[in-house]
Amino acid sequence: MKLDVCGGCNAKIGAGSLDDILKGMDIFKRPDILIGFEGKEDASVIKITDDVAMVFTVDFFPPMVDDPYVFGQIAAANALSDCYAMGAEPVSCLNIVCFPEEEDKNILKEILRGGADKVKEAGATLSGGHSIHDPRIKYGLCVVGKVNPKNIYRNNTPRVGDRLILTKPLGVSLLASGYSVGEVTEENFKGALESMVNLNKYAFEILKNYDVSAITDVTGFGLLGHLSEMAGESFSATLYSGEINILKGAKEAAEDFLFTAGGQRNRNGYGSNIEFLIDDFAMEEVLFDPQTSGGLLCAVSGEDTDKLLKELKEKNIDASVIGEITSKRKKTIYVR
């Protein structure tokens, strides 16, 4: 009982295409909508009272692994991450299912079981969902979370001098793509699976106790795409490539030219605003690589960085300090 591998966050529509599609849309703005999509945030936020806001997000995609149960876990972990990136506690989840009419229903049962297990681990309640017949399998969640409006994290509010911490290693799409054509070992692919099924809940529970100015989760637009959105028009960032954790075998896959379509879309969408001060094309591919259920990227005050990193590592979270936020320069990101 295996799935047809064809996606994950590698299937995401490119950032440039989305910008063109959404540009100029006439959106009615209710006063209780605190955050919508105009800031490219990880989720929308609705104010309920002065002390309570609801966070709404949705994410789904086709399989990137052939095990239905593991796929369900990964898709759910990925969808839940947007809540953590906004500072919210997940409360309720709805399944989103596209499934071929003629396919074995036991496959669907295993996908949903994997998703339900991750929702339970997050401390949220699976409350229903919606399913349709479709030629290709797709699965994900609509997630509702709650947060105090005073404690909402934004993805584009860093401060000059903040250090950048990433809570998971990079390279999952390079490994998944390479494994699908027999060019990545079983051991290295299992490393990618372990990273993808891991909830960002545990990193968030630590991060929220520190002086963090901005958070985003690293998913389909890759590290460079999501960091570009964090820097925005007001800041730049410097990345130290030698400090970035990479899954075993991922850079080797890039060196063997096992590129992903999503990585090339990210290069086309963000590459003009990035200056590489390294001569390492494989490393560039790792940085553009779309991440499915990737880690949290956070901007943290320099004073808190060492203590935060130490606590993350003590909880077996494979985090690293990968760069810093600077004042605005000619390019958005400089990779050293």
User: What is the set of active-site residues?
Assistant: 9
Q: Angle, nearest 10°, between helix axes 261-270 and 15-22?
A: 60
If you write DSSP's letter for every residue of 186-233 in order, what string do you get? HHHHHHHHHHHHS-THHHHHHHTTS-EEEEEE--TTHHHHHHHHHHTT
39 is in an annotated binding site: yes
187 is in an annotated binding site: no
82 is in an annotated binding site: yes
234 is in an annotated binding site: no
Question: Using H for helix, E for strand and C for coil, what is the string for 49-95?
Answer: CCCCEEEEEEEEECCCCCCHHHHHHHHHHHHHHHHHHCCCEEEEEEE
131 is in an annotated binding site: yes
- Lookup: tokens for 288: 């553009």
Our CA angle for 169, 164, 12, nearest 5°, is 55
4 is in an annotated binding site: no
217 is in an annotated binding site: yes
* Burial letters 91-126, b for 16+ CB under 10 A, else e: bbbbbbbbbeeeeeeebbebbbebbbbbbebbebeb
20 is in an annotated binding site: no
59 is in an annotated binding site: yes
Binding residues: 12, 39-42, 59, 82, 129-131, 217
Binding residues for ATP: 12, 39-41, 59, 82, 129-131
Binding residues for Mg(2+): 42, 82, 217
